[in-house]
Amino acid sequence: MKKYMWMLLAVVLVSSCGQKKEQQDKAPTRVKTLVVSPGLVDKAQTYVGIVEEREATAVSFTGMGVVKRVLVNEGQAVSRGQLIAEMDDTQARNLLSGAEASMTQANDALERYKMLHDAGSLPEVQWVEIQSKVAQAKSQLEVAKKNLADCRLTAPVGGIIGQKQVGAGETALPSQAVVSILDISSVKVKVAVPESEIGKIHPDTHSTVNVEAIDRSYEGGRIEKGVQADALTHTYDIRIHVANSDRKLLPGMVASVRFLQEGSQSISGRMIPVTSVQKKADGSLFVWTVDQQKTAHRTTVTIGGTNGNYVTVIDGLNIGERVVTEGYQKLSEGTKVIY
């Protein structure tokens, strides 16, 4: 009997050690967290916005021809005057050679007829005709030089290459965009605001812009308000200027925009999102907290009043503790997490 008990105990210990090892070897669970602080929570309205470039410049050849090569790629930074693409310049060089020959011939005729003119042996009408031919040859030479130079496409402004629309071997048409250059030294965040709320937003309304793709928040700047509503949605487009010196914000990124409306008041206290508060079977409330070893624990809390999407914590949390706000559905006591 004792031998049986010892064997059972050994099995339990081995099983327990195996479970502990399995839990240790398990990959940490990714969550989003919030550090409890005595900061202020405002009554702000939140909208979804899209990042736009400050300005877009379409760059194109002035004439038609076959593109020999394109020297830039989408997303590449370019400076003003940088070579972007080249067109086959065989025909342009031939025209330039012909124009140079005509110019040489006209200048030679001018020198010979000038001696006759100075000697008074050349009628004035014929002298004017010779001068006109020289002027025409000079004009044709300048045009030929310009056509050859136009086979090289350079950046008129600095910025980031947006979309490349023509590749090597394709025929480019006059004014057909080869690439677009985006100025993202600063950007605009476009937001559609319902007509019932547009009156609360002014050019100097304070705003914050959060972009989850790069995990960054920005202070919004000057606001441009549209004056024409969308016929279907009855919303007005507004654009918020945002500084982008590090070029992290890119066109097309989704942003969460919060406006602090006039007359709103801030409330101080230990505030956490309402959605992070969970209920146990006995009716008590708890949140998931993360310690310095990045381990999740259930922490019982007592809450007070709510303010928008936030709730006041009366007891159970201290300033500086880290609370899980997203991903808590996958947690159990002692789970290792990353955030």
Q: How many residues does the chain have?
A: 339
In the CATH scheme, what is the homologous superfamily, with its name and number, of domain 89-150? Helix hairpin bin (1.10.287.470)
- Other residues' Cβ atoms within 10 Å of the Cβ of residue 162: 20
d(CA 80, CA 82): 6
CA angle 278, 256, 45 (to 5 degrees): 75
**Residue with tokens 């602080």, as numbered in its chain:** 37
**3-class state of residue 208 by DSSP:** strand
Q: What is the pLDDT of residues 232-252, one digit of tens each?
A: 888 999 999 999 988 899 999
Q: What is the pLDDT of residue 94?
A: 93
DSSP 274: G
d(CA 267, CA 311): 11
Give the contacts of 70 (CB within 8 A, at least 6 positions apart): 84, 85, 164, 166, 167, 168, 178, 179
Burial (CB count <10 Å: 0-12, 13-18, 19+), residue 332 = exposed
The DSSP string of 137-168 is HHHHHHHHHHHHHTTEEE-SS-EEEEEE---T
**Residue with tokens 């303010």, as numbered in its chain:** 307
DSSP 28: P
Among 157, 172, 134, residue whose Cα is nearest residue 53: 157
Give the contacts of 242 (CB within 8 A, at least 6 positions apart): 51, 186, 187, 188, 189, 209, 218, 219, 220, 221, 249
d(CA 183, CA 195): 30
**Half-sphere exposure in the Cβ direction for 38 (13 Å, CA):** 2
Q: What is the pLDDT of residue 254?
A: 94
Domain covering 28-41+267-338 in this structure, CATH number:
2.40.420.20
Q: Is the dihedral of CA 130, 136, 137, 138 positive or negative?
A: positive
DSSP 181: E
Q: What is the pLDDT of residue 142?
A: 94
Q: What is the pLDDT of residue 13?
A: 44
Q: What is the pLDDT of residue 27?
A: 86
Give phi and psi for 257, each to the nearest 5. -110, 130
Q: What is the pLDDT of residue 40?
A: 47
d(CA 78, CA 183): 10
Segments in the chain below pLDDT 70:
1-26, 37-44, 261-269, 307-308
Which residue ranges make up each domain of the chain? 28-41+267-338, 44-55+184-260, 89-150
* pTM of the predicted structure, to 2 decimals: 0.56
**Half-sphere exposure in the Cβ direction for 111 (13 Å, CA):** 5
Check if the beta carbon of residue 300 is closer than 8 Å to that of residue 313: no
CATH topology of domain 44-55+184-260: Elongation Factor Tu (Ef-tu); domain 3 (2.40.30)
